[in-house]
Structure 1
Amino acid sequence: MVDIASRVWNHKWKIDPIVRSLIDTDFYKLLMCQSVFRNKPGTQVTFSLINRSKHIPLADLIDEGELREQLDHIRSLSLSRGESTWLRGNTFYGKRQMFRPDFMEWFEGLRLPPYHLERKGDQYELTFEGSWPEVMLWEIPALAVLMELRSRAVLDRMGRFELQVLYARGMTRVWEKIEALREIPDLSIADFGTRRRHSFLWQDWCVQAMQEGLGDAFTGTSNCKIAMSREVEAIGTNAHELPMVYAALAKDDAALAQAPYDVLQDWHDEHEGNLRIILPDTYGTKGFLDNAPDWLAGWTGIRVDSGDPAVAAQTAIDWWKSRGEDPSEKRVIFSDGLDVAKIKELHQQFAGKVKASFGWGTLLTNDFRGLVPDDALAPFSLVCKAVKANGSPTVKLSDNPNKAMGPQSEIDRYKRVFGVGDQAAQKVIV
C-alpha cells in the first residue's frame, strides 16, 4: 500500500501526474461518449469550469504554470494496450463487449483537444471547444486536476510529521464511516468520488478501504482506472449532460419538451437491464415523470441527484404505482452530497419500498473538514459543464434552484416549457 504522506512530503510530483490515464474518469463518461459518438458526433460544444464556491480563490492558490503542465500532460495521454483490452473484453453489468469496435477504434486514436485558460481576478476561466465526443472527455480530468492542485497547494505548507498525522486522521475518519455503514443491513454502495477527490492516491486508498471494510456491500467504483486495477465493478450510467445538450439543439418549444425523452430513447436502443436508469431532475423530476412515455416506467430505476432526496424517491414510487409497476422491484440510486447520516436515514426510510443504492462521492474521497487550520482542505463545489451546443446556450434547472445554470431568459423559458413552478432551495454541499 502506498505511503501517501511520504509521497506527498517528497514532492516528486513528476511521478504522480494527477491524471494518469484517459480511463482515469467516470464510467458513465465513456458510456455517454459512445452514445454521442453514435447519435450526435457532429455536434459542436463548449464546456466551461464553474466554481460555485466563489470564496475559494483558485487562481491565487494554484500556479498557472503548474495547471498548464497538468493539462498539457492530459493532452499527451492515449489508451494503453492493457486499457483497450479491458474495455474491449471485460464484462460490464453482465454484458460483454459493452463498447463497440468502431467506438474503440476511435477512442484508441484519441488525444484530447486544446483548452483555453485565462486568469480572471482570483479565478480561472477554463474552457474546451470542439466536437462533442472529444470535448466531453475533458470534464472529469479537468475537475480532478483543479481539485488536486488546490490540495497540493495546502499540503505544500505542511511539515513531514504534520502530513503523517493528517493522513492518519483522514484514514481514521474514513474507516469510522465504513464501520458505521457496516451496521446497515443489505447495504448497496459505490464510490462516486472521482471528480472532486482529494487526490488520485487518496481515492484509490478509499476504494481499497471500502473493499476490505464493506465486502459485498461495496458494489464498485465509478473510476474506470481504479476499477481495472482493483478488479471491482465499474459503476455508472448517464448524466445531465445528455438532456442539456439535446435540449439546446431543439428548434422550438415542442422539440424542447420532447428532448429529455429523445435522449432516453437513444439510450434505450443501445442499453438494457441495469444501464436503464433514469436521471429525471434536469428539468424537474415531477414534470418529467408526469409527462414520461409509458415505456420509461419499465426501466430499472432512477438516480436522485438534487433537491430533497426523500421527496424525489417518493415521487418516483408514486409514479411507478400509477403506471402499474411494483416499486419494490425498482432501484433508486441516491447520489447527491451523501455522508453516513444521510445514507442511514434514506436506507431506513426506503428499505423494502425500493431497492435503495448509494453513490458516495466527495464526502468519501475528499473529507478533510476540520483537519487543517482555516479548514483549508474542506471540499468545495466545482463543476465543469456543457454551456453551449451548436452555438445555443444550455440550461439546467435541477430540483434545487441553487444548482440551476444558464442565461436567465432561457431559464425562464425552460421553466415555462417544462412547467416548473416554485422550488425549495437546498444548500449545495458539493
Structure 2
Amino acid sequence: MSIVNSIIDNDFYKFTMQFGVTKLYPDVKARYKFINRGEHKFPDGFAKVLQKEIDAMANLALTKSEKEFFAKNCPYLSPAYLDFLQGYRYDPSEVIITQNGSDLEVEVEGYWYRTILWEVPILYLISELYYTLTNAERISNAEVIERTSNKVDLYNRLDVTVAEFGTRRRHSYEVQDVVVQELKNHSGKSFVGTSNVHFAHKYDVKPIGTHAHEWFMFHGARYGFKIANSISLDRWVKVYYGDLGIALTDTYTSDVFFGQFDKKLSKLFDGVRHDSGDPIEFGEKTIAHYQKMGINPLFKTIIFSDGLNSEKVETITNSFKGRIGLSFGIGTNLTNDTDLRPMNIVMKLTEISSFDIPWTGVVKLSDEKNKHTGTERMISLAKEMLNLDDIPGHEAPLND
C-alpha cells in the first residue's frame, strides 16, 4: 500500500501559491533540487523504493469531499481553481531520482503551476522511507500522545495559539496522524489548525498557511532583488485581496524586508512570519517597525515557525506577550519527536524560466547564513544589489 493516499496530503501554502501561479504566471517553468543538509546516508535500493512511491502518486485525485472542504473553508480559492485541482494529476516524469552509493539526488522540472506540489510529498516520503529502510525504531504511539499532551498543556498555560507545521519532515504518516488527533482532542484552546490539508479535512480543523520562500525567490529572479519583497506582496494582494495576510520576512534577510515593507503593506498585511535568525531580535525589530509606521503592534501578529520546541515557545511568549500578537507554527518537534534523529532535508526552487526569459537561478538569503540557497555567483550578485556584503552573518555564501 502506498504512503500517499490523498492528493491533499500536502502543506496548505502549496495550494495557495499554486492558485496564485495559475492566475498570474501560467507560462513559467521551474526547477527544484533536493538538498541533504544533514548529510544522511541512504541504504542501497532507496531510489528504487522512492521511485515506486512517486509513480503511485499519478493515481491520486481530488475527491468530492475534499473539494467541498476547500470550498467551505477557503472561499478565496476560486471555483475555477478548484475545478482545475480536481483535474490535476501528478506526473512522475517531472521527477528525476538517482542514487550513487549512499548519496541521493532528486530533481523536479516542469511548469511551475504543476511542479509546485511536488516538494512536500517528496520530503516526507524520503523521511518515512529512510526510517523504514534503516529499521529505525521509534517510541510507541502512546508515548507520542503523552509527549504531545504535555506540550499542549504548556501552550494552554501560556495562553498562546499553536498550529501544527510538521508535514515535510514528519517521521511518518502514522505519527503525524496521531499527533494531529491528540491536538484536536486535547482540552484547551491553544490548537488552531494544521498546515496539512489532508489532516485538516480528516479532523475538521482549519488549514493554516500563506506563502513560502519560493514565491519571493521567483519574483527576485524575474523582476530584481531590490523590489522582490514589495512586488511579491503586491502580487499576493492582487490574488487574495487581503486574505491570507501573513508575510514571510526572511527570503532576502529581514532587514531588507522591513526596508521594503512600507506603510501601505504594513497596514494591509495582518502580520509577519519568523523563519530564521534570533527570534527575540526579530520580535523587537518587528515591534519597532510597526511603531515607526504609527501602527499599534497589538493589532498585528508574529507567527514564529523556526525550529520551535516547548522551551523556545515559552521564552518567546515571556518576551512578547502583551506587546504584539503571537502565534506559533511548530513542526518537527511535534511530528518527529520520536527519539530518532530528525532528518535535515529540504527541497528548494533553483531556477525559473518562461517564454520571454531563459533559465535564471533563484536566491534565498536567510537570516542564518547556513540557510542561504543559490549558486555562489547569484548569491554574491544578490548581496551586492542589496548592499548586504558588510552585514554580519552574511560573509560566507553557500553553494547549494
| TM-score normalised per structure 1 | 0.86
2:310 paired with 1:340: yes
Unaligned runs of 5+ in 1: 1-13, 370-376, 426-430
Q: Hey, what's the Cα distance between the residues in 2 that align with 1:274 and 1:41?
A: 22
Among 399, 418, 429, the residue aligned to 2:367: 399
3-state SS, counterpart of residue 295 of structure 2: coil
2:122 paired with 1:137: no
Unaligned runs of 5+ in 2: 354-358, 395-400
Q: Hey, what's the Cα distance between the residues in 2 that align with 1:331 and 1:226?
A: 25
Q: Hey, what's the Cα distance between the residues in 1 that align with 2:45 and 2:62?
A: 28
Q: Hey, what's the Cα distance between the residues in 2 that align with 1:268 and 1:168?
A: 44
Change (3 A) 1:294 1:180: closer
Deviations 1:268-324 (A, max 9, x none): 122255611111110010122123332111021000000101111211111111111
Residue type at the aligned position of 1:48: K
Q: Hey, what's the Cα distance between the residues in 1 that align with 2:307 and 2:89?
A: 32
Task: Tell me the residue number matched to 2:272.
Answer: 302
2:330 paired with 1:356: no
Q: Hey, what's the Cα distance between the residues in 2 that align with 1:173 and 1:85?
A: 33
Match runs of 1:85-164 below 5 Å: 85-87=68-70, 89-92=71-74, 97-113=75-91, 114=93, 115-154=95-134, 156=135
Contact 2:62–2:86 (8 Å) recurs in 1 = yes
Task: Tell me the residue number matched to 1:39.
Answer: 24
Match runs of 1:310-325 below 5 Å: 310-325=280-295
Following superposition, the deviation at residue 345 of structure 1 comes to 0.6
Q: Hey, what's the Cα distance between the residues in 2 that align with 1:171 and 1:346?
A: 25
2:338 paired with 1:368: yes
Following superposition, the deviation at residue 132 of structure 1 comes to 0.3
| TM-score normalised per structure 2 | 0.92
Contact 1:290–1:319 (8 Å) recurs in 2 = no
Following superposition, the deviation at residue 227 of structure 1 comes to 0.4
Residue type at the aligned position of 2:288: D
Task: Tell me the residue number matched to 1:372.
Answer: none
Task: Tell me the residue number matched to 1:29.
Answer: 14
Residue type at the aligned position of 2:24: N
2:365 paired with 1:386: no
Task: Tell me the residue number matched to 1:271.
Answer: 240
Q: Hey, what's the Cα distance between the residues in 1 that align with 2:187 and 2:364?
A: 35
Task: Tell me the residue number matched to 2:212.
Answer: 239
Among 396, 413, 427, the residue aligned to 2:381: 413
Contact 2:280–2:316 (8 Å) recurs in 1 = yes
3-state SS, counterpart of residue 17 of structure 2: helix
Q: Hey, what's the Cα distance between the residues in 2 that align with 1:320 and 1:389?
A: 34
2:3 paired with 1:18: yes
Aligned length: 385
Task: Tell me the residue number matched to 2:64.
Answer: 81
3-state SS, counterpart of residue 85 of structure 1: helix
Task: Tell me the residue number matched to 1:193.
Answer: 166
3-state SS, counterpart of residue 182 of structure 1: helix
Runs of 4+ in 1 over 6 A off after TM superposition: none
Residue type at the aligned position of 1:310: I
